């Protein structure tokens, strides 16, 4: 092994968390190296969630991570939640003074990658992390087409997704944490068709959950609840449209060619700790949520906001206290998002063993929530997101200008 590289922070994973972290470190003059086993095209082409919290987008813009967000991210002032056969709208600005964004994750990544490369970031695609050695100077052993080499650093961060290679080193085992499995999954399609509505529609129908989401004016993302063992190729296109339409009976869906189909399994997970010595995990490496409410990328950004400040204090000023408190502080927001994702899921999905009591109770919850302004505000606040905790205190994005 002839090559050895030295850097201050080694980051595994060029997803939203790893890329934002490198940006924040660079803003503080701290050098980092990012490795990712995927190609750039793979990263930029992966379909993930589409909605982002208000503060997430404002933070991405302010940090310089996504300079094109202002033109690419679409402002969404509400969602429709369908039950009892009709829509119930949440008006975000009226309830919270803020709004959400439709900003598909691959668009975020395209902007983040171009920005980091443009700034001279050391970002190594097709470079696989194969081992992590824990010490005061952690070592990341990687492998690329030319062979293996070591990256020696002052701090190592696993932003490498749900199958993280860094997590076991931090928690002591690959399963160290808290889990919840769910008896359902989502059948997701991408369809070349126009939007059926300006806003996203969530439906809690007697036949189960559906979500009509969007990507662009001509490409839509739709989901319906299914059994986790469903074979994505087991349905014809006509059957898929019929299944979706059955769950939103009051709205005529715009049909079009289905360009992609997949089954997304659900799972909640929170690692027992996010840090050990000079190694930390963030984003999906540290926690996963069911997709309802699209909290994943927002949680990753919140972790990184706090971690980047803690690393600044440690690496520039030798202050260990913020990094010592990082995991406990980050956990508070993580568990709020966990709760929201679990609750939105439980309130809108039909469990396979649900009986009529469960069904009526669920409708009782939805009706009570939506008939109360306090209830609607509670849900809307969750959806548009909370302020971020930083090392220097709470960071709230400035509120949007109120339309005249």
Catalytically active residues are 76, 202, 291, 295, 383
* Nearest residue to ligand DHB, scored by beta-carbon proximity: 50
The least CB distance from residue 167 to ligand DHB, in Å, is: 24
Residue 316, Ramachandran bin (φ over 0: left; ψ between -120 and 50: alpha; else beta) = alpha
| Position 56 contacts ligand DHB (CB under 6 A) | no
The least CB distance from residue 366 to ligand DHB, in Å, is: 16
Q: How far apart are the first and last CA of the chain?
A: 65
DSSP 8-state class, residue 24: H
The least CB distance from residue 245 to ligand DHB, in Å, is: 19
Residues 196-215 that bind ligand DHB (CB under 6 A): 200, 211, 213
Residues 292-311 that bind ligand DHB (CB under 6 A): 292-294
Residue (151 or 200) nearer to ligand DHB, CB: 200
Residues 93-132 that bind ligand DHB (CB under 6 A): none
C-alpha angle 259/187/49, rounded to 5°?
75
State how far the Cα of 308 lies from the Cα of 177, in Å rounded to an integer. Answer: 23
Query: According to DSSP H, which parts of 47-130 are helical?
Result: 54-63, 69-72, 92-96, 105-118
| Position 51 contacts ligand DHB (CB under 6 A) | yes
Residue (16 or 50) nearer to ligand DHB, CB: 50
Residues 50, 55, 87, 208: which binds ligand DHB (CB under 6 A)? 50
**Helix, strand or coil for residue 224?**
strand
Q: How many residues bind ligand DHB (CB under 6 A)?
A: 11
Q: Which residues contact 263 (CB under 8 A, 6 or more apart)?
A: 185, 186, 187, 188, 226, 228, 230, 231, 232
Residues 14-43 that bind ligand DHB (CB under 6 A): none
State how far the Cα of 297 lies from the Cα of 288, in Å rounded to an integer. Answer: 10
Query: According to DSSP H, which parts of 270-388 are helical?
Result: 296-317, 321-348, 356-371, 373-384
Question: Binding string, 275-294, against ligand DHB, x = CB under 6 A?
Answer: ----------------xxxx
Positions touching ligand DHB (CB under 6 A) are: 49-51, 200, 211, 213, 221, 291-294
């Amino acid at each position: 092994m002839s090559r050895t590289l030295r850097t201050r922070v080694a980051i595994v994973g060029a997803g939203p968390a790893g890329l934002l972290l490198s940006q924040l470190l660079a803003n503080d003059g701290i050098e980092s190296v990012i490795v990712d086993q995927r190609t750039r095209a793979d990263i930029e082409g992966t379909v993930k969630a589409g909605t982002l919290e208000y503060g997430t987008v404002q933070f991405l813009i302010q940090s310089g991570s996504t300079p094109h967000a202002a033109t690419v991210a679409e402002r969404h002032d509400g969602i429709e939640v369908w039950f009892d056969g009709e829509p119930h709208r949440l008006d975000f600005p009226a309830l919270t003074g803020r709004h959400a964004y439709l900003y598909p994750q691959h668009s975020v990544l395209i902007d983040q990658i171009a920005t980091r490369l443009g700034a001279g970031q050391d970002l190594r695609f097709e470079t696989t992390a194969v081992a992590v050695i824990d010490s005061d100077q952690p070592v990341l052993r990687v492998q690329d087409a030319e062979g293996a080499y070591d990256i020696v650093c002052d701090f190592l961060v696993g932003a490498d997704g749900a199958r993280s290679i860094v997590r076991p080193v931090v928690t002591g085992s690959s399963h160290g944490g808290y889990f919840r499995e769910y008896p359902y999954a989502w059948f997701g399609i991408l369809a070349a068709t126009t939007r059926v509505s300006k806003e996203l529609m969530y439906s809690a129908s007697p036949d189960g959950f559906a979500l009509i989401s969007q990507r662009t004016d001509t490409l839509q993302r739709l989901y319906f609840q299914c059994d986790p063992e469903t074979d994505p190729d087991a349905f014809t296109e006509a059957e898929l449209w019929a299944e979706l339409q059955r769950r939103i009976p009051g709205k005529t869906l715009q049909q079009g060619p289905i360009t992609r189909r997949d089954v997304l399994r659900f799972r909640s997970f929170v690692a027992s700790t996010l840090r050990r010595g000079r190694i930390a995990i963030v984003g999906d490496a540290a926690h996963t949520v069911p997709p309802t409410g699209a909290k994943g990328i927002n949680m990753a950004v919140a972790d990184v906001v706090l971690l980047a400040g803690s690393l600044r204090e440690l690496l520039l000023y030798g202050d260990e206290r913020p990094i010592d408190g990082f995991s406990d502080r980050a956990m508070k927001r993580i568990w709020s998002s966990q709760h929201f994702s679990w609750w939105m899921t439980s309130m809108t999905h039909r469990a396979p063993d649900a009986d009529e009591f469960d069904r009526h109770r669920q409708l009782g919850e939805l009706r009570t929530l939506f008939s109360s302004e306090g209830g609607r505000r509670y849900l809307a606040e969750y959806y548009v997101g909370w302020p971020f905790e930083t090392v220097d205190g709470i960071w709230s994005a400035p509120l949007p200008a109120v339309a005249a």
